[in-house]
Amino acid sequence: MPVISPTIHTQQNSRELECQRAMEDEFLVLTALAEEAGWSWQEIALAMLELTEQYVAAMRPSSAMEARSLLRSHSKSLH
């Protein structure tokens, strides 16, 4: 499997597009394998959406913890 690594961009939309391009070849391979196994494009799309939702849900708690940690470390307190 090829390495999918980001190039440093300061603009978020550039990073998002680059991430899509980096993942596209493997995505096409994955969907082609699913089609060859007999799954319809609708089934594949729904499965990918469900997996994406699960990934987001799994990442959300760690993102929230990171955000709270950053807020605490940058918090200015008079105590």
SS (H, E, C) 61-77: HHHHHHHHHHHHHHCCC
* Same domain membership, residue 77 and residue 47: yes
Q: Which domain holds residue 52?
A: 40-79
Give the model's pLDDT for residue 79: 41
Look at the chain and report how many structural domains it folds into: 2
Tens-binned pLDDT, residue by residue, of the chain (79 aa): 556 666 665 666 789 999 999 999 999 999 999 999 999 999 999 999 999 999 998 888 776 677 666 666 655 554 4
CB 37 within 8 A of CB 49: no
* Same domain membership, residue 34 and residue 54: no
Tell me which DSSP letter residue 38 carries: T
Give the model's pLDDT for residue 60: 85
Tell the burial category of 44 from Cβ atoms under 10 Å away from its Cβ (0-12, 13-18, 19+).
middle
The pTM of the full predicted model, rounded to 2 decimals, is 0.62
